[in-house]
């Protein structure tokens, strides 16, 4: 009897401790005058995370709470913002309070050192060392490589269609990400992988696995966000494929060094020259190692291929469902091709030569930002005197990108795909478009992304019309908090005569 009573007492203490620990941060967000999605007894506000499409949830919450609201992810306080004035304040003006992202241990050195998650001075130094890779002249150099890669991919699709009555069915994400990994292999590493001909090869599969494309967003996953202990049963990151990718990248960079050759159309030479500085005091003080440099090459693939694949998949769906937009694009393209002797290149796809193509792309990027919640962590207590809003140190602040990009105050008829709204871009509030983030820590690859997306779009529209199929359907996956995740999305590409 006594033993039973003691056991019951121990159990009660254990339960009380878990509940107390789960609730320890409750109230922090509310004390800053921010409305909060009511938390549960001790599991935070997101107990149904794996049963909800997170970006659509953000849009609903925006309608309910306005431009700022809070949640507890487990016990972590998170503030979500969708108001352009707050976005400007937090991501740009008061950047010194919000310069870092969360400190995440991915359990693998190559991932722990990517620019996305480097803190403070180390981030600042590495970012400035990488900026020469994204200058106008560098982009111009690489544009030829992107253009010929896009053209070759479209020609392969054309050959497939020719064998099939002029029509080819594609699973957008599968085909496009295979091509994108191929294109990034050429532009980042200067090597060809030929993935677009074989979208399920080992290298592509390794990237897919690494990005957790098969992650199960179940209760275990939701619990792991509250209690990190559960991560061992529901890993968010697959470490095995990172080894394959890491060693392939290393090999390419070493081979270039040994060969003594150079190539201004990829990133290898600059990355190798940074490797040579690892013994300097500047690098040693900040622990910038060869591994740190290698991680950046991996980062460009990861940062670029998944986001661009999602963007192009949504773009194809918008084109398929808006034939009139395709007609306008084709007529702009035909006129441009006349002026440029049929050449699709850096000069011919510029914003002045193809303004409508840019509007189409931006409208698609507005409606479907691939990164759901660009984030910062608050490193010093912050207060905004005018609104009385304050945010405590340690709170994660996220832009609810889907909600911000569909804020009806700045985007009339916000859910409508309407490229023409971008024709008077000077009247639009720049902070209401959040697809590439904002401030000093925005997307370093923005211009690279536009260049490659435009080159793809022009090559596609030149040869194909995009059409919906009876099985065309966009089903978003529930639970993903980082990137837009969706089931296979099929469209038909139909050869133009
Ligand atoms: C459609 C394509 C892309 C989208 C929508 C996108 C979006 C984003 C967003 C939202 C961020 C976070 C910004 C912030 O927190 O303010 C980001 C960061 C980043 N992106 Fe992109 N991205 C794209 C393509 C690329 C490409 C092509 C590259 C590289 C070649 C790239 C490399 C990076 C890196 C390295 C960061 C981290 C920057 C830092 O922390 O300093 N991205 N991207």
In this predicted model, what pLDDT tens digit does every residue of 207-226 receive, in sequence order? 777 776 666 666 776 777 66
Tell me the pLDDT band of 301, cut-offs 50, 70 and 90: confident
Residue 231 confidence (pLDDT) above 70:
no
The finding on whether 307 has its CB within 6 A of some atom of ligand 1 is yes
The finding on whether 77 has its CB within 6 A of some atom of ligand 1 is no
Residue 319 confidence (pLDDT) above 70:
yes
The finding on whether 371 has its CB within 6 A of some atom of ligand 1 is yes
Q: Which of 436, 455, 457, 484 gets mutated to test ligand 1 (max ligand atoms within 8 A of its CB)?
A: 436
Domain 2-495 part of CATH 1.10.630.10: yes
What is the Å distance from ligand 1's center to 300 Cα? 8
What is the Å distance from ligand 1's center to 155 Cα? 29
Averaged pLDDT of the chain:
92
The finding on whether 138 has its CB within 6 A of some atom of ligand 1 is no
The finding on whether 448 has its CB within 6 A of some atom of ligand 1 is yes
Angle at CA of residue 139, ends 133 and 140, nearest 5°: 140
The span from the CA of 24 to the CA of 5, in Å, is 28
Best-predicted range by mean pLDDT (23-32, 273-282, 324-333): 324-333
Q: Ligand 1, residue 453: give the atom nearest the CA.
A: 1
- The residue contributing the CA closest to ligand 1 atom 17 is 443
Best-predicted range by mean pLDDT (89-93, 210-214, 275-279): 89-93
Residue 354 confidence (pLDDT) above 80:
yes
- Binding-site residues for heme: 443
What is the Å distance from ligand 1's center to 440 Cα? 12
- Binding-site residues: 443
The finding on whether 116 has its CB within 6 A of some atom of ligand 1 is yes
Residue 152 confidence (pLDDT) above 70:
yes
User: For 410-421, how does the pLDDT look when each residue is reduced to its tens digit (9 = 90+)?
Assistant: 999 999 999 999
pLDDT (0 to 100) of residue 234: 54
Residue 161 confidence (pLDDT) above 70:
yes
Residue 229 confidence (pLDDT) above 70:
no
Dig out the tokens for 295 from the structure: 């991680």
pTM of the predicted structure, to 2 decimals: 0.94
The domain spans of the chain are 2-495
The finding on whether 437 has its CB within 6 A of some atom of ligand 1 is yes
Residue 323 confidence (pLDDT) above 90:
yes
Dig out the tokens for 123 from the structure: 């981030």
What is the Å distance from ligand 1's center to 447 Cα? 10
Residue 372 confidence (pLDDT) above 80:
yes
The span from the CA of 19 to the CA of 56, in Å, is 30
């Amino acid at each position: 009897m006594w033993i039973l009573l003691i056991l019951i007492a121990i159990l009660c203490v254990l339960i009380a401790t878990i509940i107390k620990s789960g609730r320890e941060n409750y109230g922090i967000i509310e004390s800053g005058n921010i409305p909060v999605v009511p938390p549960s007894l001790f599991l935070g506000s997101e107990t149904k995370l794996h049963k909800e499409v997170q970006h659509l949830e953000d849009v609903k919450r925006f309608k309910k709470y306005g431009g700022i609201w809070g949640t507890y992810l487990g016990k972590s306080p998170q503030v979500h913002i969708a108001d352009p004035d707050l976005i400007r304040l937090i991501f740009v003006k008061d950047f010194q309070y919000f310069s870092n992202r969360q400190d995440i241990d991915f359990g693998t050195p190559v991932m722990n050192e990517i620019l996305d998650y480097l803190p403070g001075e180390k981030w600042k130094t590495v970012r400035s060392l990488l900026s020469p890779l994204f200058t106008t002249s560098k982009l111009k150099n690489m544009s030829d490589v992107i253009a010929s890669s896009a053209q070759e991919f479209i020609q392969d699709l054309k050959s497939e269609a020719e064998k099939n009555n002029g029509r080819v069915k594609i699973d957008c994400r599968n085909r496009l990400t295979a091509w994108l990994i191929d294109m990034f292999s050429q532009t980042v590493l200067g090597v060809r992988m030929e993935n677009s001909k074989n979208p399920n090869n080992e290298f592509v599969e390794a990237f897919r696995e690494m990005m957790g494309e098969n992650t199960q967003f179940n209760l275990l996953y939701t619990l792991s966000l509250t209690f990190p202990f559960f991560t061992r049963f529901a890993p968010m990151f697959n470490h095995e494929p990172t080894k394959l990718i890491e060693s392939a990248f290393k090999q390419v960079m070493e081979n270039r060094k040994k060969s003594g050759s150079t190539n201004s159309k990829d990133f290898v030479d600059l990355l190798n020259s940074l490797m040579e500085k690892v013994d300097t005091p500047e690098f040693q003080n900040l622990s910038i190692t060869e591994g740190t440099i290698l991680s950046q090459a991996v980062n460009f693939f990861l940062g670029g291929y998944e986001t661009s694949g999602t963007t192009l998949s949504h773009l194809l769906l918008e084109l398929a469902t808006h034939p009139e937009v395709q007609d306008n694009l084709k007529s702009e393209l035909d006129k441009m091709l006349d002026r440029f002797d049929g050449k699709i290149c850096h000069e011919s796809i510029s914003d002045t030569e193809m303004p409508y193509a840019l509007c189409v792309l931006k409208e698609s990027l507005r409606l479907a930002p691939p990164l759901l919640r660009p984030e910062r962590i608050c490193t010093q207590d912050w207060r905004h005197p005018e609104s009385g809003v304050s945010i405590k140190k340690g709170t994660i602040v996220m832009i609810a990108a889907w909600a911000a990009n569909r804020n009806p105050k700045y985007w009339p008829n916000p859910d409508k795909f309407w490229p023409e709204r971008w024709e008077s871009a000077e009247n639009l509030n720049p902070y209401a478009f959040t697809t590439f983030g904002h401030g000093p820590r925005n997307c370093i690859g923005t211009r690279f992304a536009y260049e490659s997306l435009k080159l793809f779009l022009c090559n596609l529209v030149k040869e194909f019309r995009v059409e919906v199929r009876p099985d065309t359907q966009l089903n978003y996956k529930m639970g993903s908090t980082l990137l837009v995740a969706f089931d296979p999305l099929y469209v038909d590409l139909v050869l133009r005569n």
